[in-house]
């Protein structure tokens, strides 16, 4: 995957797909909820997002361990990783 980046309002680099992502319009608490909280709403928003596939690829490539990325939880992404 190409990791073209853009600069966010905070001055940090963000992947190019982030400009299209619905999560860019939502607070981080939505995708990084407290332990035991429902992930249903975050997953539903991801399902409608144009950047979902690129987001998931980014999370897997960068070993993102927390939150909802590409519509999947931490445990769901872990299941996709190859066993060593």
pLDDT in tens, 2-46: 334 444 444 567 888 888 888 888 878 889 988 888 999 999 999
Q: The tokens 């990084």 sit on which residue?
A: 32
The pTM for the full model equals 0.76
Supply the DSSP symbol for 32.
S
CA 76 to the chain's CA centroid: 12
Residue 78 has pLDDT above 80, yes or no: yes
Residue 71 has pLDDT above 90, yes or no: yes
Burial 26-65 (b: 16+ CB within 10 A, else e): eeeeebeeeeeeebeebbebbeebebbebbbbbbbeeebe
């Amino acid at each position: 995957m190409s990791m073209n980046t853009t600069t966010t309002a905070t001055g940090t680099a963000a992947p190019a797909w982030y400009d299209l992502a619905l999560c860019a319009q939502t607070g981080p608490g939505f995708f990084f909820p407290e332990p035991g909280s429902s992930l249903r709403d975050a997953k539903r928003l991801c399902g409608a997002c144009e950047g979902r596939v690129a987001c998931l690829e980014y999370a897997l490539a960068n070993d993102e361990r927390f939150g909802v990325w590409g519509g999947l939880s931490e445990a769901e992404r872990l299941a996709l990783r190859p066993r060593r």
